[in-house]
Amino acid sequence: METVERFVVIVLFDRVDLLDVTGPPEVFALLQREMNGATGYHVALAAETLDPVTTSAGVRVLPDVTFAELAGRRIDTLVVPGSVEVDGDGRVRALSDPAVVARVRELAARTRRVASVCVGAHILADAGLLDGKRATTHWSTAQQLAAEHPAVDVDADPIFIRDENVWTGAGLTACLDLALALVADDFGDALALRVARQLVMFLKRPSGQSQFSVSLERISTTRRIDDLRHHIARHLAEPLTVADLAARAHVSERQLTRIFKTDLGTTPAAYIESARVEFARNQLETTDHTLERVATLSGFNTTDTLTRAFRRTLDTTPTEYRNRFRIN
């Protein structure tokens, strides 16, 4: 069978995140091993010049080609990594060089599909490639992306999102999930799963799987909320009604809801469900408990309630989740 050429261009620029650059090519290389032959993927690192590019890790990377040399050439997949700066208070902000944005916009016009890795979504957004589309990015810069680009439907939860020919990925290691999804799109799930095993990954995470755990959510600003969060974590199997939590915090139910919305961006009920789902995920990954037992321990009480919560938050079922992520 004739091998289809898939020319993959990865954009390089100063202070780019190293794993964003090296992760996808590793996935493509492992695919070649699994296929025992040519895959058709030809990866090129492109930059403004052929001078070494210093990544955020301090490692220097040599470009294969300049942007100018790509003029007129058709590209199968354009991969756009990201870069961040962190201020003295630990706040993370995605960076976007206007010159790089212009190059990405130009290259995307003759590309079959475009994919951003981590905060590379900010570059796609600045290039106008995400307008009217649903997209994700690293959870730490999702609010920035939404604030700066109201035309983008930002969803900070999934590992990756595909909207037509534009793909966006979440955190750094999610570049592997995104690359596996591209492989699955080109060659099917079976080969992608074989590559995932080579990477010693939990097979293939579904695009809808959350990049969050409740421990990664924003830090609360009051001790009262922190105390409630610890109380919830220790008593997941109990009813945990809003009335009981409000009484424990010595506030009204309405005030408790307002505090949760202000501090955590969610409601008490939604937060409790997230905590229960995370606990259930851990049980499914690390134990042989029956679904009935997992439902009881996590406070869902019935397998039907557990399943509905998984479908609502992870777009999968407890059984499917365990099959994908069981730690043997």
For 21, the 3-state DSSP assignment is helix
DSSP conformation class of 210: B
Q: CA dist 311 to 208, 292, 306, Å?
A: 10, 17, 9
Answer whether 138's CB lies under 8 Å from 173's CB: no
Residue type present at position 5: E
Angle value at C-alpha 224, between 222 and 226, nearest 5 degrees: 75
Four-point Cα dihedral 225, 231, 235, 241, nearest 10 = -40
Answer whether 317's CB lies under 8 Å from 307's CB: yes
For 55, the 3-state DSSP assignment is coil
Question: Which structure tokens are listed for 15?
Answer: 């202070």
**b (16+ CB within 10 A) / e for 202-218:** bbbbbbbbbbbebeebe
* Active site positions, annotated: 118
Answer whether 183's CB lies under 8 Å from 195's CB: yes
Nearest to 103 by CA among 78, 135, 138: 78
Question: Which structure tokens are listed for 47?
Answer: 């930059």
Four-point Cα dihedral 135, 209, 201, 6, nearest 10 = -30
